[in-house]
Amino acid sequence: MDTDGEDRSKEQQKDELQQYIDLKLKQDEKYLNPLSFWKQNEQTYPNLAKLAKRYFSITCSSAAVERQFSVVTQRRSNLDPATGNNVI
């Protein structure tokens, strides 16, 4: 069962989302980094800014890929030279 405060909060969030959807950028307004947009507009869209910070700030990493190649390299160095020549 929702209280009046929760109902108002949900309405504010819907209004915030609709405001963002209706947003029109000026001709000369460009954002190369989405986080800079959300930093500049976090007062207008506080809930959306929180979500944007959470998801846009995830760093990319190639650690898993590098780990796979590291295993392949270790295995390759453990191969018998004759087997390596047969593969090539």
Pick 79 or 41 by higher pLDDT: 41
pTM above 0.75, yes or no: no
Residue 25, Ramachandran bin (φ over 0: left; ψ between -120 and 50: alpha; else beta) = beta
Nearest Cα neighbor of 48 from 5, 18, 26 is 18
What band does 46 get if pLDDT is binned at 50, 70 and 90? very high
Pick 58 or 24 by higher pLDDT: 24
* Buried-state track 11-30, b at ≥16 Cβ within 10 A, e below 16: eeeeebeeeeeeeeeeeeee
| Domains of the chain: total | 1
Range(s) of the domain holding residue 56: 4-87
Supply the pLDDT for residue 47. 92
Supply the pLDDT for residue 66. 66
